[in-house]
């Protein structure tokens, strides 16, 4: 098939490869070539490709009930909401279909909660929150705005990890601060402890909402269910998606009281949000990560991976938490290295000119780590 002749909008810079199946930490293309997947659909397939437990749950559910409108409850959605509350320790949930939609909910929620003309949301430079107009306006990457302006107003972008800049930007119109505990698309940049702790104190004292975008860093990727738990800093609400459904389209906005009371019937909705099939799959994925102790594995394998990576020629540093790692190169050749790694059978991606992003499934083994590092070393050479 002529890939260039497909009737698809040209919105992605795809490799000319057709992936036909996956198993665990590996993908296979149309020619049968195997790839060790250290990207996992960009931090999505945390429980591994074609996870048997998730597949069985989805198949069982679709034979019972695929969809019912949100005029009614469905059991998997109810069980998933309880499970998310359990692993978080607090909060009420709104289910969406993606991370961008979860962030849209958070934006609307904090504006409704703030009231009294308070609508401004402080965000970080180099942040990424999605590509819908609202989440794009929150995203601190001007190159992604071009062609879509004017964007919704009220978003202010400030240097990441610069607490004084955020404090100085707060005024009577400020409703919230929206931040990623670890910037993913921004080059896998972790927040400092002082920054997140300072934001918490600042938001409490100024009566503004603290919102964490955990779309990429959540669901065990950092060794905790949520990255904010590793910092010991509690937001007022946060968002999740990507790994939540292990490949199924589901997102969530989770808010604590009194923020969770801000939205009432008619304020926000999603036709497919909290659907029975995706909720059942998400529940199975979380239960798998729990039963297989994948969060502990993320910490252990992330540590081992970092230790090996920093010994490579051409690597300046390795940053991140758990299995959300950024490999900073000494030269701006990340795209070339990622392409060569793909030829050798290893999937990583260049998130910046000099940064490779590694977000493998949380099920990887020591053997997988050493195999990936050997392939990456060859690609670097």
User: Does residue 166 have an active-site annotation?
Assistant: no
Burial of 61 (0-12, 13-18, 19+ CB in 10 A): buried
Quick check: is 206 catalytic? Answer: no
* CB neighbourhood size of 143 (10 A): 5
CB of 207 within 8 A of CB of 239? Answer: no
Interior angle at CA 19, CA 343 and CA 219, nearest 5: 95
> Which residues are paired to 174 by β-bridges?
120
Question: 94, 128, 166, 259: which is the annotated catalytic residue?
Answer: 128
As a whole number of angstroms, the distance between CA 309 and CA 293 comes to 24
Task: Determine whether 128 is an active site residue.
Answer: yes
Please say whether the beta carbons of 9 and 208 come within 8 A.
no
Asked if residues 279 and 77 have their Cβ atoms less than 8 Å apart, the reply is yes
For 293, the token pair is 């102790």
Q: What SS3 class is residue 212?
A: strand
d(CA 90, CA 264): 19
Burial degree of 92 (CB within 10 A; 0-12, 13-18, 19+): middle
Q: Are strands 34-37 and 237-240 parallel, antiparallel or unpaired?
A: unpaired
Helix (H) or strand (E) holding 94: strand 92-96
Tell me which of 236, 238, 242, 368 is the catalytic residue. 242
Cβ contacts of 42-45, under 8 Å, gap ≥ 24 = 42/184, 42/216, 42/242, 42/349, 42/357, 42/359, 43/184, 43/216, 43/217, 43/221, 43/242, 43/243, 43/324, 43/359, 44/242, 44/243, 44/246, 44/247, 45/243, 45/246, 45/247, 45/361
Residues marked as catalytic: 128, 213, 242
């Amino acid at each position: 098939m002529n890939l260039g002749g497909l009737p698809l909008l040209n919105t992605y810079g795809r490799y000319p490869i057709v992936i036909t199946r996956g198993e665990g930490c590996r993908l296979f293309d149309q020619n049968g070539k195997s790839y060790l997947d250290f990207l996992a659909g960009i931090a999505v397939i945390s429980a591994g490709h074609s996870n048997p437990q998730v597949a069985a749950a989805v198949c069982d559910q679709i034979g019972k009930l695929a969809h019912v409108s949100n005029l009614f409850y469905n059991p998997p959605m109810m069980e998933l909401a309880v499970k998310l509350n359990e692993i978080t320790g607090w909060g009420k949930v709104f289910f969406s279909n993606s991370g961008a939609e979860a962030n849209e909910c958070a934006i609307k929620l904090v504006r409704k909660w703030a009231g009294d003309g308070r609508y401004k949301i402080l965000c970080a430079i180099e942040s990424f929150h999605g590509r819908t107009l609202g989440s794009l306006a929150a995203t601190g990457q001007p190159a992604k705005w071009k062609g879509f302006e004017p964007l919704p107003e009220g978003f202010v972008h400030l240097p990441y990890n610069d607490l004084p800049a955020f404090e100085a930007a707060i005024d009577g119109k400020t409703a919230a601060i929206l931040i990623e505990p670890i910037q993913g698309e921004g080059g896998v940049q972790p927040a400092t402890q002082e920054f997140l702790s300072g934001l918490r104190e600042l938001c409490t004292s100024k009566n503004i909402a603290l919102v964490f975008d955990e779309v990429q860093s959540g669901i065990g990727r950092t060794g905790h269910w949520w990255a904010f738990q590793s910092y010991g800093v509690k937001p007022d609400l946060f968002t999740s998606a990507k790994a939540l459904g292990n490949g199924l389209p589901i997102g969530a906005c989770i808010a604590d009281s009194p923020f969770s009371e801000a939205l009432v019937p008619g304020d926000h909705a999603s036709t497919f949000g909290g659907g029975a099939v995706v909720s059942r799959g998400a529940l199975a994925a979380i239960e798998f990560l729990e039963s297989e102790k994948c969060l502990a594995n993320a910490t252990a394998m992330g540590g081992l991976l970092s230790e090996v990576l920093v010994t490579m020629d051409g690597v300046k540093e390795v940053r991140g938490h758990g299995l959300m790692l950024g490999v900073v190169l000494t030269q701006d050749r990340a795209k070339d290295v990622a392409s060569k790694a793909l030829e050798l059978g290893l999937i990583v991606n260049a998130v910046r000119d000099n940064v490779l992003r590694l977000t493998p499934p949380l099920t990887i083994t020591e053997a997988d780590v050493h195999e990936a590092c050997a392939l990456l070393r060859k690609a670097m050479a």
